[in-house]
Amino acid sequence: MADKDRIPPWRHTGSRRRLLLLTIVLIPTIISANTMARLLPDRGSILLDTFLVAVFTTLFAWISVGFWTSIAGLVILLTKRDSFRVSRACDGLDFSIADPAARTAILIPVYNEDVKRVIAGLRTTFASVRQTGSMKRFDFFLLSDTTDPDVWIEEEEAWYRFCKEEDAFGRVFYRKRTSNTKRKSGNVADFCRRWGKSYRYMAVFDADSIMSGETLVRLVQIMEARPDIGILQTPPKAVNRETLIARVQQFANHVYGPLLAAGLHFWQLGDAQYCGHNAILRVEPFIKHCELPRLPGKGPLSGDILSHDYVESALMCRAGYGIWLTYDLRGSWEETPPTLIDELKRDRRWCQGNLQHTRLLFTRGFFPAHRALFINGILSYGSALLWMAFLIVNSAQAISEALFEPVYMPILRKFLPELPVWRPHWAVSLLGSTTLLLFLPKFLGALPILLADFRARLYGGKIRLFFSILVEVVLSMILTPIRMVFHSLFVISTLLGKSVGWGTQSRDDRGTTWREAFLAHWWGSLLGICWATVVYLIIPSFFWWISPITFSLALSVPISVFTGRAAVGRFFRKAGLFLIPEEVDRPPELAVLDENLNMPAPYTPFPFSRKQGFLRAVVDPLVHGLHTSLLLRFRRGAPSKEHSREKIVEKALASGPDSLTRKEKTALLRAPHHLRELHRKVWRLGDDDAAARWGLVPPEKE
Amino acid sequence: MNFSAEYPAPSPADVTPAQRAARDRVMLYIRGLDLPPSKGLRLAARSMEEEPSSPGEGMDALELLLDKEGLLPGLPGERGQNIPSFPPLNRSVMVAEEMDRVPWRTSFFRFLRRWRRELFGRGK
């Protein structure tokens, strides 16, 4: 049990380190802000200049934090000296967990996911845990919040088949929630309320997460050795994508990620953040202290807390427990969004979640480190708006200087004119320092790789590694303006209470069609074209300065399509670019995942797809039997409800399964008696056309 | 020439469309149950013994046989029992802790409460 009143020694060290970070960020920021202020034209508006300097200062400080984090991470990785490394608690241990009461629940919350991928991931992690010999200490929970009735049935059948094949009954469980209260955090909280007391730890996964058994055992061993730790976060590695944009993200995650993770650990120590997945949590304090309230009021900054992970880590810390990042533990993987549009859909949710944290900044009891993390999250999206405002105001200023005559004698009583002074060396040094802060860490990321293996074999060789970093830098510069406008839109629309509606995020490499790209990006392209045109017509010399931004925006549509193509990604892979170790030297877990994804589909005599879950629940006798037996409550509903369900059965019999709405299908799936009645009547249909709608007529007869 | 020999005479073994439909329906259900082949075919044959003239009659006959054999796909395992897809409940309470998001509003009152505690001992 953590002692809230006793200050652990690492907290003193962490505070001193963060004070150092504040100093080395603030001093250059103040110098740069002063330089910026003196670079601005003297005859400009004071208000505008103040705005530009304030925005520049914020952005400069923001990128400085990232720079110094990478430097700190580099020092740790090169010197390999870290007295606060949490993984030393399991150095020299085998893969066993001594205490039989140290049981861990592995939670896989799912919401309308690709069931085949989820089960393949589950099968992979399950097999890996089994190989460690510590299977008795782990249970697996598929926690479903699925609202799609077809996917619901697919999940049930997949779980049952998995348990039968792997003899996993009593080890792997499936729970379907009837209501989606508080989304993922509510899903996990529901598990805690029902079964939390039976487990000491819980490892939370995403639908696409994979963790090796060894890593899971190590995490438990560390938690056992360190009762002061509330949450232990691993840095997952991005893998398994083929589109260009996803491969670039994977590469960046592998090359720069370790630097950032080690650096974050250096500054944060036990005040790290929880990312919501690929982490292990201590259940008892989580139940006691980490339930999230609803934020009062109306609008997008109210209601359920969307980015629950940051808040849960702040609450856990407030309760006296540490949140640590095991930057050196491997065996933790995830998948990135496959296209730019999918990435932006995800960012839309995250933006709203992070902006909600503005209402939690001053919460009593939160540590300054976690308030700083909230600010960091807010600036992740707010900085885009600031940057866009900076560029627009800059362009407006350049245009106004071209359109309006300069006033050299602003005050008539002065005898000498105020001539503009151009200080090119200041501008160059400011540009240079900003460029250094942004791009040097990317090249420094190669150093630990070269030290570990000078040939950089796992990245395709030294030359390919550096060339990949160069191309990644160029691609980032092309994609950043597009992200900037979208993030700005997200921030503005969230603050105004408007939603930017999009469908669900895709988790496969199907790519972006030209139509999808046009519908998503047309306005950004129009903005880029208009911006470039206005600047070119009025002040052509400024046009080339702003061209990296305007060209990217104008070409948003083709950029979105081509970066989302798996064929383009595969071309780069063939050329040996953006290679990651998992592609060159496939870890056993990922090799097993590949096999699991290619397992043949199980036998079915019915002509319809496995994805038509509702149809299978009505027609397929085995699926029907499984589903009705999994429904706990066999109570009949109120007469009005029973009557409405009877009506749905009649409608289904008369017009077939496609005539039912999603709500009607779900209502029937929750009523085993009516489902049974429908099953019997469908199998007795005499009319060929009616029977064909349910897949009961052989194909040649149709 | 004997014309009658060229065309086969109608035979009582000819299957009507309704019987065909009944047969196909029963066979599909048996295949759906994925029973061992000999057992499945035996059940199908027995359900066809009464020459059902519609899919409904065929399914009624099959259902009776499946019920007798304990193979009716209602509930795997013993009839009336559910498959537990999750372990027995072990309930606990999870309640949101206080999150004072505007501490400056209550800071004065908290100060007064602390002062009172220090002056007069622990309050209620």
Q: What are phi and psi of A87, to 5 degrees?
A: -70, -10
Round to whole Å and give the CA distance between A428 and A49.
19
- Pick the residue from chain B with its C-alpha nearest to A359: B101
Query: Which tens digits make up the pLDDT trace of A420-479?
Result: 666 677 778 888 888 889 999 999 999 999 988 888 899 999 999 999 999 999 999 999
The gap between the terminal CA atoms of chain A, to the nearest Å, is 68
Do A696 and B99 count as a contact with CB atoms less than 8 A apart? Answer: no
Residue type, A124: T
Q: What pairs with residue A227 in β-bridges?
A: none
Question: CA A156: distance to chain centroid?
Answer: 26
Pairing of strands A172-176, A279-282: unpaired
Decide: helix, strand or coil at residue A154. helix
Query: What's the mean pLDDT in A247-251?
Result: 96
Could you tell me the two tokens for A44?
């400009």
Could you tell me the two tokens for A317?
């810390």
Query: Which tens digits make up the pLDDT trace of A569-622?
Result: 999 999 999 999 999 999 999 999 999 999 998 899 999 888 999 999 999 999
Query: Which tens digits make up the pLDDT trace of A40-72?
Result: 765 556 777 888 889 999 999 999 999 999 999
Q: How far is B104 from chain A (nearest CA, A)?
A: 9
pTM: 0.90
Query: What's the mean pLDDT in B97-123?
Result: 75
Q: Which residue has the tokens 């300069």?
A: A406
What pLDDT band is residue A5 in, cutting at 50, 70 and 90?
A: low
Burial, A331: exposed, middle or buried (Cβ in 10 Å; 0-12, 13-18, 19+)? buried
Q: Which residue has the tokens 């030294």?
A: A462
* Residue spans per domain, chain B: 14-69
Query: Which tens digits make up the pLDDT trace of A382-402?
Result: 999 999 998 998 888 888 777
- In chain A, the percentage of residues whose pLDDT exceeds 70 is 93
- In chain B, the percentage of residues whose pLDDT exceeds 70 is 78
The answer to whether residues A310 and A370 touch, using CB atoms and an 8 Å cutoff, is yes
Burial, A296: exposed, middle or buried (Cβ in 10 Å; 0-12, 13-18, 19+)? exposed
B77 pLDDT exceeds 50?
A: no
What pLDDT band is residue A702 in, cutting at 50, 70 and 90?
A: very low
Query: What's the mean pLDDT in A118-143?
Result: 96
Do B94 and A691 count as a contact with CB atoms less than 8 A apart? Answer: no
Q: Which residue has the tokens 């900054």?
A: A301
Report the residue from A139, A605, A625 with minimal CB separation from B74: A625
Closest by CA position to A441, among listed A57, A95, A50, A75: A75
A205 pLDDT exceeds 90?
A: yes
Chain B contact set for A194 (CB, 8 A): 86, 89-91
Round to whole Å and give the CA distance between A458 and A671.
55
Residue B75 is predicted with a pLDDT of 45
Do A620 and B32 count as a contact with CB atoms less than 8 A apart? Answer: yes
Task: Please state, in angstroms and as integers, the Cα–Cα distance from residue A170 to each residue in A101, A150, A153, A190, following that order.
Answer: 17, 25, 20, 19
Q: Which of A684, A688, A697, A700 to mutate to test the interface with B (most CBs of B within 10 A)?
A: A684
B33 pLDDT exceeds 80?
A: yes
B115 pLDDT exceeds 80?
A: no
Q: How far is B79 from chain A (nearest CA, A)?
A: 10
Q: What are phi and psi of A158, to 5 degrees?
A: -65, -40
Round to whole Å and give the CA distance between A247 and A240.
9
- Pick the residue from chain A with its C-alpha nearest to B73: A625
Q: Edge-to-edge, what's the strand order for the sheet holding A104-110?
A: A172-176, A138-144, A104-110, A201-204, A279-282, A229-233, A322-325
> Is the Cα dihedral A126, A129, A135, A138 positive or negative?
negative
- Pick the residue from chain B with its C-alpha nearest to A190: B94
A–B: how many Cβ contacts below 8 A?
125
Residue B78 is predicted with a pLDDT of 45
A697 vs A623, which has greater pLDDT? A623
Residue A640 is predicted with a pLDDT of 83
Q: What is the ipTM of this complex?
A: 0.82
Residue A172 is predicted with a pLDDT of 97
Residue A413 is predicted with a pLDDT of 55
Query: Which tens digits make up the pLDDT trace of A192-204?
Result: 999 999 999 999 9
Query: Which tens digits make up the pLDDT trace of A76-85?
Result: 999 988 999 9
Query: What's the mean pLDDT in B17-23?
Result: 89
The answer to whether residues A370 and A510 touch, using CB atoms and an 8 Å cutoff, is no
- Mean pLDDT for chain B? 80
Q: Is B69 on the interface with A (CB under 8 A)?
A: no
CA dihedral in degrees (A388, A390, A396, A397; nearest 10)?
A: -170
The gap between the terminal CA atoms of chain B, to the nearest Å, is 119
Chain B contact set for A685 (CB, 8 A): 55
Residue B124 is predicted with a pLDDT of 45
In this structure, chain A runs to a length of 702
Cβ-based neighbours of A227, under 8 Å, separated by 6 or more: A1, A2
Report the residue from A194, A364, A629 with minimal CB separation from B82: A629
Round to whole Å and give the CA distance between A122 and A142.
9
Query: Which tens digits make up the pLDDT trace of A150-170?
Result: 999 999 999 999 999 999 999
Do A192 and B31 count as a contact with CB atoms less than 8 A apart? Answer: no
Closest by CA position to A370, among listed A521, A181, A579, A230: A230
- Mean pLDDT for chain A? 90
Round to whole Å and give the CA distance between A216 and A128.
10
